[in-house]
Structure 1
């Protein structure tokens, strides 16, 4: 059982790298058509970019389903890790950062401030070239530094 939990957690962690690579080279590459409306918001609640939830859910679902059917539980664990990352992505990206669902509209948490700043810097680029901050959960040091600097200025 511990092995399956560790595989799930390792998969969750690896998904940050996969997300970075996919965001940088696929979403800002040949599938920009689906991602563009996320950077250049149009009317309505849904975006073509929401298709990526389905795209990422397919390998998770297949791992869980096929692993369960064939009693290969390490494959189920991989699917669970992908699904957990998808849930974290939804919570952080859709609810905390973009606030498409208004649950966490104000926060003084440093991590949330840093991740919002990093994402803001990502969205300052309206086209697919010259982007930055393609990850989701790991925040680069320069954004942490920006938040600390802002907090120090507010204290003065």
Structure 2
């Protein structure tokens, strides 16, 4: 039971880690890897996919920390379950963000409900040009699109964000 709680808590915590990484790393000093995710292209792979390798390395590291085969008596038993939670979040991210939102694995356009809200929120995230400004940096939890539109409008008025419609 405690293992399941650790896995679920890790999956939930990973949304905060992903949000923070997306806002402050991917749209900051890591923009070089993330930029092509915001640009149109016809390649299957993006430099942005390197972030998935970083997530995999984090998951593998926790598995190793928790493994008696790797660490012997020094193994930290929660590490295995944290590693599983990081892996679980990666699978959810791949299905929801890459699959549903960006149609990399399947093409389904939700007409209502939370799936539609996720797609709308991420489209609003991609509404800005460049790494400055923007809204909705999470991947699994999405805020109300109406609120996000107001935030984008405010950013544009303050000169923080340049919206795609303004340049296209």
Pairing 1:67-86 to 2, within 5 Å after superposition = 67-69=66-68, 70=71, 71-86=75-90
Retained in 2: the 8 A contact 1:119–1:133? yes
Matched positions, count: 144
TM-score (norm 1): 0.86
Partner of residue 102, structure 2: 98
1:140 maps onto 2:143 in alignment: yes
Question: Pick from 106, 124, 127: which aligns with 1:124?
Answer: 127
Retained in 1: the 8 A contact 2:37–2:48? yes
Shift of 1:44: 1.1
| d(CA) in 2 for partners of 1:145, 1:129 | 15
Retained in 1: the 8 A contact 2:36–2:47? yes
Q: Which moved more, 1:136-145 or 1:45-54?
A: 136-145
| d(CA) in 1 for partners of 2:16, 2:34 | 19
Pairing 1:2-151 to 2, within 5 Å after superposition = 2-69=1-68, 70=71, 71-102=75-106, 104-142=107-145
| d(CA) in 2 for partners of 1:11, 1:137 | 14
Q: Which moved more, 1:105-114 or 1:82-91?
A: 105-114
Retained in 2: the 8 A contact 1:117–1:143? no
CA RMSD of aligned residues (A): 1.8
Retained in 1: the 8 A contact 2:125–2:134? yes
Structure 1: give runs of 5+ residues left out of the alignment. 147-156
Shift of 1:109: 4.1
Shift of 1:16: 0.6
Would the alpha carbon gap of residues 75 and 122 (structure 1) be closer, same or farther in structure 2, given more than 3 Å must change? same
Would the alpha carbon gap of residues 28 and 59 (structure 1) be closer, same or farther in structure 2, given more than 3 Å must change? same
| d(CA) in 2 for partners of 1:90, 1:100 | 9
* More contact order relative to length (CA 8 Å, sep ≥ 6): 1
Structure 2: give runs of 5+ residues left out of the alignment. 150-168
